[in-house]
Structure 1
Amino acid sequence: MRHDSSFSPDFILRVTEQAFTQSCITKNEVIVINGSTPGPELRLTEGNVYWIRVFNDMDNNNLTMHWHGLSMAASPFSDGTPGASQWPIPPNHFFDYELDIGIGTAGTYFYHSHIGFQAVTAAGPLIVEDAGKPPYQYDDERIIALSDIFEKSDNEIEAGLVGNPFQWSGETANVLVNGQGQLHESTESPGCDLATISVEPEKTYRFRFIGGTALSFVTLGFEDHGDMILIEADGNYVKPVNISYLQIGSGQRFSVLFKTKRRSDLTKSQFFMQIETRDRPSLTRSYAILDYKLTSSKRVPRPIEPRLSLPQQPPLTLPTNTFGWLDYKLLSLFPNPDFPLTSEVTRRITIRTHQIIGNGSIMWAQDDSPWIESFPKEPYLVSLYKKDSLEFPSLDRANLNHGIDPITRVFPAALGEVIEIIIQNTGSDVGSVDVHPFHAHGAHYYDLGSGNGTYDPVANEDKIKGLSLARRDTTMLYKYAEKTTPGIDMGWRAWRLRVTEPGVWMIHCHILQHMVMGMQTVWVMGKDSEIIKVPMEHIQGYLEYSGSVNGNSTHDPHVVHFAGTTD
């Protein structure tokens, strides 16, 4: 179908590269969306199909857009993963993404580029609203999107990570809230303000937290406020859990119910939200302001308080422990008859993560296979359609090789299988250990918890027995020591998945530096006849870089409306 001038997308995102200031740091080449970072908030409603037009207005960079946490099973070329499911959008072209938002997906998500280090700024919030009445009641809501800022440019960071000699990106200079933050040595000036979260007294808010950081794994809390009630994790409603602080890694999202103070209990109108990084060589502490909007009466005017500046001493003492946070405690709010029993598990696949250090370079590998954007030469889904450069992944070969097909370097799975995926942390070549937020594209999985050492399925089964665990899409692979023996098992994370969605899906660490360094895997789920469902004559424009599915100033794109396609 030709998307000519009569076609009107539901949303338009224009991605440019320009000079930009955040947290008092000005860079000349920052990738922004509609002129800002984070990009504009997108609000969708479950049960509908949306078209989002993404313009790559850059002259020298490719681009994709990934809809983090949403499954693109109905629209196979819309997942935004270069090298896996689609070609990137060439410079000065645009691509129309089709999002089929199924019932039951209401929750908190975000969108971001999946090219190199672009997602550090090229990202924005995406909210899927309930088609009916939400299961939890609240007066209003606020989005609290976290992100990192680095002193180096994106290009410098990426070149250093893949270069020889290896050059580290440096630690985050600041953790930003909704794109704002202030460094301790800075003075207030444009682009240096603390973010403000405006609230009113005696109300209940839904705070939607989005872990859009590149590197930072953080703990946060609010000054002089009581417990929050956690109600959502990664786009899934959960039974209420009282928490006094929140722990969130890159790619994770949580919603909490936050009750504001009574007006009579307020001795001041501004409080700090305090954010601290965890499991890094140095601690970065950042702040935002929780600001009560208090109206004045005619008889008793309210004095204007000076805006808070950075505190000399942190107002909160946040817990320093990290591992095991809310494991086995996030339970599905709704009855969950689809939870796969242990007796249904057909395969258990262990992915061993390992950092390879030597000859001036550093990379991350899964089962000795690093996966970077230069491999393969064309997206797997494209190769599967064209049948020209990639043999279809063999489940038989994979079963003889710890779950990965050694020829195609992907993990195959059959529809109808119930698989357990164990992500096993190991000591690097020099014995160092790191923390990793692992994210799965496609269908959400059931998180089975985590622990130290090597996964013990019998012991863990006792922990999950009788629990109606919630689905997730991003969970933490913790580290339990700073140093260990090279190659030794040092922590695991376990998932269980009923394979129902055919397609090419990525599973990867969501730390951008680690992804650039190879910490990604690709899964092909389903047989060729289940994945390749649309006739070749309809999708030729998707199979070549800069194909006719991309529009530009001189021609309209020719696209397939996959939602509802049966032939």
Structure 2
Amino acid sequence: MLGCFPKMRGILPTFCLVLGLAFSTQANLILHDDSFQPDHILRVTAQNYSQACMDRYSVLVNGSSPGPELRLQEGKVSWIRVYNDMEDSNVTMHWHGLSAFAAPFSDGTPMASQWPIAPGHFFDAEVRPEIGYAGTYFYHSHVGFQGVTAVGPLIVEPADPSPFEYDEERVILLSDFFAKTDDVIEEGLTSSNFTWSGETGAVLVNGQGRLATNATGACSLAAISVEPGKTYRLRFIGATALSFVSLALEGHNLFEIIEADGHYTKPVKTDYLQISSGQRYSVLLKAKTEEELQQAESRQFYFQITTLGRPAVLTTFAVLEYSSPTATDLKTVPATPPLPVANVTYGWMDYALESYFPDTDFPTAAEVTRRIVINVHQNISTHTVWLQSGYDWMETFPKSPYLVDLYQGNLDLDASYKRAIESGLGFDNLTRLYPAQINEVLEIVWQNQGAVNNGGLENHPFHGHGRHYYDIGGGDGLYNPEENEKRLNGTHPVIRDTSVLYSYRKKTTPLAPSGWRAWRIRVTNAGVWMMHCHILQHMVMGMQTVFAFGDQEAVMAQSGPIEGGYLVYGGSAYGNSTYSPLVQHFF
């Protein structure tokens, strides 16, 4: 069967697709025929699409970017059908920040946890947000560079009332615009003749914006409409491909952070946000009263968005608008930014954000069974790659997904774990896995290093799939566990799924340590989980890491036996125009 699988972007021959039907059984399966109605339908296409007054061939969800907003209920199963209507590309859909440990083939990570959705096929994802995970998320394709446009907001509504009072909410999704197409960018990044994607042309808000920021233009800025005197929950989603931004709002009082990455936090006041790719924050904003507006010069105010840590600073805008007898001007941006242009605040909100609800499960240093230090740096040889502990990981490395191999008995995690321990790094270079056993407590340290060739450094937003981790902070130089334990004293680390490994400087001596980020994780959710930099360019260039939690027995005990249609590319768990899929209901 392995010989049937072509390049990730290729079309699988028809005979390989139907072979999956031979594995089907009727045990614990439900035929998702015309009588089955999914809760949400996403159709993925590739076509010309206009953003920032530029036409670009892009991967879209339901014909737009961003795609439709999904609303799921905490603790309730939702079925999301994803159609791949493209003719020559695979796709997956990842529910960013939501754990899929009990429905392992719904995580959306190709060649790690599942086969991608073949052209002309569809997949029904079973998603049940855990209790305690009400908050702000998003979905995106996890194939190549598709996630730059194949993206949309996902909101998990609470089973119980929110601990915070507000009148209404607004979703503000940030994304990047690149003039080059996905194929051109991927080819340039992975070629021996390395070609950079170029910097982002614009940071878009809810898909709107424009390239030029110092004059009037045909493209409208995004408008966030509010009414005087109301309190709003603003849900910010960092769905950028590359951009790490600072965001502030002209003429208003402080933001009050109440959520980070899907978890309520104790309120923290701030006059700006730093949002990396993959991160989400909710803030409360008190709108101006009508009396305050009458004293103001305008009824519209600028959100000012500044890119951080890049060779050139890009400042873009959106508009907060109050109802007015005259139309809001969405064509003009200020010739001079109304707010100071921001720089990176290293360690922003580290040790400051705390969980709103009491948390007794935080692992202490004494409980840590292993510390895994993952050195991160760039290397230029025949190709330009990003390495973790000396290795890159790309979708083309495994011949079939790790989770599929695990269920088919082709991956011996006991042997992999033994090799990883013997390596002294916790890493098995044969499988390129970081294996761990159930009930271990891991301290995972991401250690930034200067590039091999020139000492260059960058900021990296690291995202963990599976259950969220405790972020225990970051700092300059080399990680010192004793010193960090002193900094943790009296704090209550928040649970996150994306946090920033800072560079602290642009260059250093090659391989010299320059910044670290540390997490603690209780290994309870068996499965194969990606942990990777969320910058799409870096992912394409190998900045992905795969953890395997538990052995074959632990995975099967958690999810039960798997029907064979999930184990074959284009198998019977993936429907198409000629047959309905046989789907396991895990919950």
The interval holding the TM-score normalised by the smaller chain is: over 0.9
Of residues 251, 255, 262, the one that matches 1:228 is 255
Residue 23 of structure 2: aligned partner:
none
Deviation for aligned residue 1:322: 2.4
Residue 83 of structure 2: aligned partner:
55
Q: Which has the larger displacement, 339-348 or 205-214? A: 339-348
Given that 1:436 and 1:476 are in contact with CA atoms closer than 8 Å, whether structure 2 keeps it comes out as: yes
Structure 1 unaligned residues grouped into runs of 5+ = 295-301
Residue 43 of structure 2: aligned partner:
14
Q: Does 1:405 align with 2:428?
A: yes
Of residues 244, 253, 275, the one that matches 2:280 is 253
Within 5 Å, give how 1:96-175 maps onto structure 2.
Answer: 96-175=124-203
Residue-by-residue CA offset, 1:277-306 (whole Å, 9 max, x unaligned)? 000001111100100124xxxxxxx45565
Residue 299 of structure 1: aligned partner:
none
Deviation for aligned residue 1:443: 0.6
Given that 1:172 and 1:216 are in contact with CA atoms closer than 8 Å, whether structure 2 keeps it comes out as: yes
Return closer, same or farther for 1:312/1:363 CA change in 2, 3 Å cut-off.
same
Residue 352 of structure 1: aligned partner:
375
Q: 1: CA distance between counterparts of 2:561 and 2:524?
A: 26
Q: 2: CA distance between counterparts of 1:75 and 1:222?
A: 40
Of residues 239, 242, 245, the one that matches 1:212 is 239
Q: 2: CA distance between counterparts of 1:309 and 1:534?
A: 55
Q: Does 1:444 align with 2:473?
A: no
Of residues 531, 540, 550, the one that matches 2:564 is 540
Letter in 1 for 2:53: C
Letter in 2 for 1:17: A
Give 3-state SS (helix, strand or coil) of 1:170's partner.
Answer: coil
Q: Does 1:368 align with 2:390?
A: yes
Residue 386 of structure 1: aligned partner:
408
Return closer, same or farther for 1:307/1:169 CA change in 2, 3 Å cut-off.
closer
TM-score by length of 2: 0.92
TM-score by length of 1: 0.95
Within 5 Å, give how 1:363-512 maps onto structure 2.
Answer: 363-388=385-410, 394-401=416-423, 402-429=425-452, 430-512=454-536
Q: Does 1:272 align with 2:302?
A: yes
Instruction: Please tell me the root mean square deviation across aligned C-alpha atoms, in Å.
Output: 1.5
Within 5 Å, give how 1:37-116 maps onto structure 2.
Answer: 37-116=65-144
Given that 1:393 and 1:408 are in contact with CA atoms closer than 8 Å, whether structure 2 keeps it comes out as: no
Specify which structure has the bigger relative contact order, considering alpha-carbon pairs within 8 angstroms and separated by 6 or more residues: 2
Give 3-state SS (helix, strand or coil) of 2:184's partner.
Answer: helix
Deviation for aligned residue 1:187: 5.5
Given that 1:184 and 1:310 are in contact with CA atoms closer than 8 Å, whether structure 2 keeps it comes out as: no
Give 3-state SS (helix, strand or coil) of 1:314's partner.
Answer: coil
Residue 543 of structure 2: aligned partner:
519
Q: Does 1:286 align with 2:305?
A: no
Q: 2: CA distance between counterparts of 1:451 and 1:459?
A: 10
Q: 2: CA distance between counterparts of 1:535 and 1:433?
A: 41
Deviation for aligned residue 1:112: 0.2
Q: 1: CA distance between counterparts of 2:517 and 2:350?
A: 10
Give 3-state SS (helix, strand or coil) of 2:585's partner.
Answer: coil
Residue 332 of structure 1: aligned partner:
355
Identical-residue share of aligned pairs (%) = 55
Q: 1: CA distance between counterparts of 2:291 and 2:413?
A: 70
Given that 1:83 and 1:376 are in contact with CA atoms closer than 8 Å, whether structure 2 keeps it comes out as: yes
Give 3-state SS (helix, strand or coil) of 1:77's partner.
Answer: helix
Q: 2: CA distance between counterparts of 1:201 and 1:182?
A: 28
Given that 2:59 and 2:149 are in contact with CA atoms closer than 8 Å, whether structure 1 keeps it comes out as: yes
Q: 2: CA distance between counterparts of 1:457 and 1:255?
A: 31
Given that 1:391 and 1:408 are in contact with CA atoms closer than 8 Å, whether structure 2 keeps it comes out as: no
Letter in 2 for 1:19: N
Letter in 1 for 2:359: N
Q: 1: CA distance between counterparts of 2:322 and 2:326?
A: 13
Give 3-state SS (helix, strand or coil) of 1:135's partner.
Answer: coil
Q: 2: CA distance between counterparts of 1:540 and 1:304?
A: 58
Give 3-state SS (helix, strand or coil) of 1:416's partner.
Answer: coil
Deviation for aligned residue 1:103: 1.0
Residue 269 of structure 2: aligned partner:
242
Given that 1:33 and 1:122 are in contact with CA atoms closer than 8 Å, whether structure 2 keeps it comes out as: yes
Letter in 2 for 1:4: D
Give 3-state SS (helix, strand or coil) of 2:64's partner.
Answer: coil
Deviation for aligned residue 1:406: 2.3
Give 3-state SS (helix, strand or coil) of 2:212's partner.
Answer: coil
Return closer, same or farther for 1:393/1:15 CA change in 2, 3 Å cut-off.
farther
Q: 2: CA distance between counterparts of 1:149 and 1:202?
A: 34
Deviation for aligned residue 1:377: 1.1
